[in-house]
Chains A and B, each alone.
Chain A
């Protein structure tokens, strides 16, 4: 009998093993080293016992009995046989049964070569079938969404996909229909499988019934070369394997990393690799030539950029770095501060949070804190649209019992599992926060839910028209609760890494304030020099550039014309200043550049990145960069050399070593640490025993209430018209239709119906069709951010609405 209270001992094929109490037999056996074949059981989902492949023999008072090990919890003293003749016969029977109708088209099946059914037929099957009749035939393949194709002939009805949609992603758009011999997986009539997570069902399908259309027939498993990396699409940094064939990434699969994505990915994470293969990728240095560009040599392009930057002295500013690796961001920070000598640099575009808050908020939560939280406060972006994998984690915690309070101007993806949903008009957040803190009226229950036990506060900007300080105010409220931790939410790729590398006017590398004299001296000793004073943030930089006070801008993977709340300002700034852009594409912003230098993208470089909880993980390289593209740190090293300085950036390991010694929060990290043991799941900085100098405890900024109507709710959607999505053919078509969403009562006041067109005037003017949305707070217009039609609007607290009347009506 087991000694530890949470362990039980079972006899597994004659071997006594200790397993965790309450575990399922199949999980316990696999953990103990005895593999039990299975199709329907998945460690991250509830068991169903559908496929019968995991049958084992268990001693019962009535003799030995065959039972499914995926539905049987272990019990103390249980005696289990996993390979007795009876079990073998059962397994052979199950395989033979599953193959009765399974077509043997393995050579053309995308799953062939990595197929659990293939593998287990070889390992546990009878080797022959007695069924000689004609197999079932269905039309195939059926496209059930733009990304997924269904082949019913291959389906073995394991219910993995249907359970995933219902249990994990919460959008049950794929279901079993009919009964008995006619059971089949189907979508609802006229409703495609438009889940943001549909790619996961392809990955967990144990046969080739669900296949990814972008990957269809692109490669076979045996010619894929795979490395581990993380998805830098958003700041959750889901672990992925990048799989390449013939030097092209053709597939991204989720890897189960317990602290982050737990195996799941959003479809954007999964199919974003397409942008790397886009035809219009910049692969040679470009120099502005009339309206367009001409190709140039590295020497000429770098020489031109360096000579202009040198002429301008310190009137230079840097933007970007939030899509790059930590090493790129660190070298960018050192290049701007140490070589160019400018304090004006910003990784964000005033579309995120205050740098000190995002980089150094205390006490900071881990994603894992969600799992044992009693309550979760989400006052920030719609996670399903901005950080979809975090949405899955919050959903998991909420369905497991944590009380979720969602505060947002309109319905979010998490409302279904929320204990309390609170709507408010953008601008009136501070007033609502005061009422929530006091537990007034209808908010009393939500306040009570947050009052007891461990709370995780997920705070960010619900929409771009709302101020970044709102998050600070919400966090300050959260800290008045007993036991609250804060997880700051900003979407863009490696924005937290960039802030940690000092890419903000008020921060130096390693969570250090620019006022910290001692750290300044240490940095200046290594970097040579450090400019005095606090620099300008993104908006001030753009204003200075538009007015000519800043002569040159260095852009590192950033698109201010699309991402800054004031697109007109960004355009004027870029038109006036001398612009050096390090980018993958000629974007709406880099179109105005004087020099465009091609950088390498995901899977083409090594490096580390830091996610929203401060977890540092490593990206590996699987393909060479196309053409003459190079890592950004190497380009910046060349630029520095042309300016007569030495950045010592000649290998990514060396840069990492340098930043680990100079950035206090990264103290103690080593390059090798990410490849082995627990370091493979990443390392949360600061390490234990390391205290970074800057610790930001939020305090109420005393925000004013803005109650102009109609308030603008300008929020990001997963598939927008951003640079990455636009260059992924499979994703670009998934962008929602641009529309002005109005509450039906507001619409009736304006006398517009669904489909009528309205003209919205913010920073710019856009004309959009009306969509009625009863879930929206009254007096609010919701417009998706950064779609082709909405890009000009800009983020303002309130817009002017004019109804466009058709001539003659």
Chain B
């Protein structure tokens, strides 16, 4: 019977193909269609604003200090008292991230004492020169209404709304990472998404609104 089985072999192979033809396809028609990213996806950074439009960044350079790839360059400056850029004495005068060096580890996000730098779901960052890969404050800082800026905002690949779905990491842990903060709003409101919902999920409570957006 072994010669008969050998004859059937190829057809059994084709059966796999045939079966897959009637199953739902996993291929998406990128860029017309986009897959929904996991909530804690580490995309490109933005610098956030408070709801009143003030910049959250205070130029403290903690992100630059913690960055393992040394891709962040920050310089602080005195806030002009009559027209302050951020609350307090100091603001981020220069803020640059070299996206070619960045390893998207989000340590900068964790280090940030004011939640100024966060990561979005935006990931299309192809550039035509090395200089363009250095994102400055012009590209990183969100508009006063919270919309992220993009070097090519009109491009077919750009879905600026992804930012609003991209603050998943913010809800991953409370500032101190303690379960005791469950149910307490421990984050400052932002021009991007207003006041974030309170912390939950730390003590095994599932959040039915959580999950993929």
Q: Which residues of A contact B (CB under 8 A)?
A: 105, 107-108, 112-113, 140-141, 216-217, 219-220, 222-223, 246
Complex A-B: 28 CB contacts under 8 Å: A107-B58, A107-B60, A107-B113, A107-B114, A108-B58, A108-B59, A108-B60, A108-B76, A108-B88, A108-B90, A113-B65, A141-B89, A216-B78, A217-B59, A217-B76, A217-B77, A217-B78, A217-B89, A217-B90, A219-B61, A220-B60, A220-B61, A220-B65, A222-B61, A222-B65, A223-B61, A223-B64, A223-B65
User: Residues of A contacting B73 with CB < 8 Å?
Assistant: 246
Instruction: Name the residue of chain B whose CB is nearest to the CB of A108.
Output: B90
User: Residues of A contacting B90 with CB < 8 Å?
Assistant: 108, 217
B62 at the interface (CB under 8 A from A): yes
Chain A interface SS verdict (over half): loop
Closest beta carbon of chain B to A141's beta carbon, Å? 7
Instruction: Name the residue of chain A whose CB is nearest to the CB of B88.
Output: A108
Whole-angstrom CA separation of A105 from B60 in the bound complex = 10
Closest beta carbon of chain B to A793's beta carbon, Å? 40
Whole-angstrom CA separation of A113 from B66 in the bound complex = 12
User: Residues of A contacting B62 with CB < 8 Å?
Assistant: 107
Closest beta carbon of chain A to B178's beta carbon, Å? 12
Which of A140, A217, A246 has most B Cβ within 10 Å? Answer: A217
Q: A216-B78, A217-B77, A217-B78 are in contact. Are A108 and B89 (CB under 8 A)?
A: yes
User: Residues of A contacting B78 with CB < 8 Å?
Assistant: 216-217
Whole-angstrom CA separation of A216 from B26 in the bound complex = 56
> What string of 1s and 0s marks CB contacts (under 8 Å) between B43-67 and chain A?
0000000000000001111101100
The 7 closest A-B pairs by CB, nearest first: A107-B60, A217-B76, A108-B90, A220-B61, A222-B65, A107-B113, A108-B58
Whole-angstrom CA separation of A222 from B67 in the bound complex = 12
Whole-angstrom CA separation of A219 from B90 in the bound complex = 12
User: Residues of B contacting A220 with CB < 8 Å?
Assistant: 60-61, 65
Q: A108-B89, A140-B89, A219-B61 are in contact. List 17 more A-B contacts (CB 8 A).
A: A105-B88, A105-B89, A107-B58, A107-B114, A108-B58, A108-B76, A108-B90, A141-B89, A217-B76, A217-B77, A217-B89, A220-B60, A220-B65, A222-B61, A223-B61, A223-B64, A246-B73
Q: Which residues of B contact A (CB under 8 A)?
A: 58-62, 64-65, 73, 76-78, 88-90, 113-114
Whole-angstrom CA separation of A113 from B61 in the bound complex = 11
Whole-angstrom CA separation of A499 from B73 in the bound complex = 46
Whole-angstrom CA separation of A223 from B60 in the bound complex = 11
User: Residues of B contacting A107 with CB < 8 Å?
Assistant: 58, 60, 62, 113-114
Instruction: Name the residue of chain B whose CB is nearest to the CB of A221.
Output: B65
Whole-angstrom CA separation of A140 from B73 in the bound complex = 27
User: Residues of B contacting A141 with CB < 8 Å?
Assistant: 89
Whole-angstrom CA separation of A217 from B93 in the bound complex = 10
Instruction: Name the residue of chain A whose CB is nearest to the CB of B78.
Output: A217
Whole-angstrom CA separation of A246 from B72 in the bound complex = 13
User: Residues of A contacting B64 with CB < 8 Å?
Assistant: 223
Whole-angstrom CA separation of A108 from B65 in the bound complex = 14
User: Residues of A contacting B113 with CB < 8 Å?
Assistant: 107
Whole-angstrom CA separation of A107 from B64 in the bound complex = 12
Which of A105, A140, A220 has most B Cβ within 10 Å? Answer: A220
Closest beta carbon of chain B to A147's beta carbon, Å? 15
User: Residues of A contacting B77 with CB < 8 Å?
Assistant: 217
User: Residues of A contacting B59 with CB < 8 Å?
Assistant: 108, 217
B60 in complex: contacting residue of A112, A140, A216, A246, CB < 8 Å: A112
Whole-angstrom CA separation of A141 from B64 in the bound complex = 25
User: Residues of B contacting A140 with CB < 8 Å?
Assistant: 89
Instruction: Name the residue of chain B whose CB is nearest to the CB of A245.
Output: B75
User: Residues of A contacting B58 with CB < 8 Å?
Assistant: 107-108
Whole-angstrom CA separation of A105 from B62 in the bound complex = 13
Instruction: Name the residue of chain A whose CB is nearest to the CB of B64.
Output: A223
Closest beta carbon of chain A to B103's beta carbon, Å? 19
User: Residues of B contacting A223 with CB < 8 Å?
Assistant: 61, 64-65
Closest beta carbon of chain B to A503's beta carbon, Å? 42
Instruction: Name the residue of chain B whose CB is nearest to the CB of A220.
Output: B61
Whole-angstrom CA separation of A385 from B203 in the bound complex = 68
Whole-angstrom CA separation of A305 from B59 in the bound complex = 49
User: Residues of B contacting A105 with CB < 8 Å?
Assistant: 88-89
Which of B59, B61, B78 has most A Cβ within 10 Å? Answer: B61
Closest beta carbon of chain B to A142's beta carbon, Å? 12
Closest beta carbon of chain B to A231's beta carbon, Å? 26
Whole-angstrom CA separation of A246 from B113 in the bound complex = 24
Whole-angstrom CA separation of A140 from B60 in the bound complex = 18
Instruction: Name the residue of chain A whose CB is nearest to the CB of B113.
Output: A107
Whole-angstrom CA separation of A112 from B88 in the bound complex = 15
Whole-angstrom CA separation of A222 from B60 in the bound complex = 11
Instruction: Name the residue of chain A whose CB is nearest to the CB of B86.
Output: A108
Closest beta carbon of chain B to A180's beta carbon, Å? 28
Which of B64, B76, B77, B113 has most A Cβ within 10 Å? Answer: B76
Whole-angstrom CA separation of A223 from B90 in the bound complex = 17
User: Residues of B contacting A217 with CB < 8 Å?
Assistant: 59, 76-78, 89-90
User: Residues of B contacting A113 with CB < 8 Å?
Assistant: 65
Closest beta carbon of chain A to B108's beta carbon, Å? 13
Closest beta carbon of chain B to A148's beta carbon, Å? 15
User: Residues of A contacting B61 with CB < 8 Å?
Assistant: 219-220, 222-223
Which of A107, A216, A222 has most B Cβ within 10 Å? Answer: A107
Which of B60, B64, B73, B114 has most A Cβ within 10 Å? Answer: B60
Closest beta carbon of chain B to A397's beta carbon, Å? 41
Instruction: Name the residue of chain A whose CB is nearest to the CB of B65.
Output: A222
User: Residues of A contacting B65 with CB < 8 Å?
Assistant: 113, 220, 222-223
Whole-angstrom CA separation of A217 from B85 in the bound complex = 15
Closest beta carbon of chain A to B36's beta carbon, Å? 35
Instruction: Name the residue of chain A whose CB is nearest to the CB of B66.
Output: A222
Whole-angstrom CA separation of A291 from B60 in the bound complex = 47
Whole-angstrom CA separation of A105 from B86 in the bound complex = 14
Whole-angstrom CA separation of A141 from B90 in the bound complex = 11
Closest beta carbon of chain A to B150's beta carbon, Å? 28
Whole-angstrom CA separation of A40 from B16 in the bound complex = 80
Whole-angstrom CA separation of A246 from B75 in the bound complex = 10
Instruction: Name the residue of chain B whose CB is nearest to the CB of A140.
Output: B89
Closest beta carbon of chain A to B148's beta carbon, Å? 24
Closest beta carbon of chain B to A305's beta carbon, Å? 40
Whole-angstrom CA separation of A222 from B64 in the bound complex = 10
Whole-angstrom CA separation of A140 from B90 in the bound complex = 12
Closest beta carbon of chain B to A761's beta carbon, Å? 47
Whole-angstrom CA separation of A800 from B2 in the bound complex = 128
User: Residues of B contacting A222 with CB < 8 Å?
Assistant: 61, 65
Whole-angstrom CA separation of A246 from B74 in the bound complex = 11
Whole-angstrom CA separation of A108 from B76 in the bound complex = 9
Closest beta carbon of chain B to A32's beta carbon, Å? 34
Closest beta carbon of chain B to A151's beta carbon, Å? 9
Whole-angstrom CA separation of A744 from B183 in the bound complex = 78
User: Residues of B contacting A108 with CB < 8 Å?
Assistant: 58-60, 76, 88-90
Whole-angstrom CA separation of A96 from B137 in the bound complex = 39
Whole-angstrom CA separation of A710 from B77 in the bound complex = 52
Instruction: Name the residue of chain A whose CB is nearest to the CB of B93.
Output: A217
Whole-angstrom CA separation of A108 from B91 in the bound complex = 9
User: Residues of B contacting A219 with CB < 8 Å?
Assistant: 61
Closest beta carbon of chain B to A626's beta carbon, Å? 19
Closest beta carbon of chain A to B109's beta carbon, Å? 15
Whole-angstrom CA separation of A223 from B73 in the bound complex = 10
Which of A105, A140, A219 has most B Cβ within 10 Å? Answer: A105
Instruction: Name the residue of chain B whose CB is nearest to the CB of A213.
Output: B78
Whole-angstrom CA separation of A108 from B60 in the bound complex = 6
Whole-angstrom CA separation of A217 from B78 in the bound complex = 7
Whole-angstrom CA separation of A627 from B173 in the bound complex = 49
Instruction: Name the residue of chain A whose CB is nearest to the CB of B58.
Output: A108
Closest beta carbon of chain A to B185's beta carbon, Å? 17
Closest beta carbon of chain B to A715's beta carbon, Å? 37
Whole-angstrom CA separation of A518 from B65 in the bound complex = 60
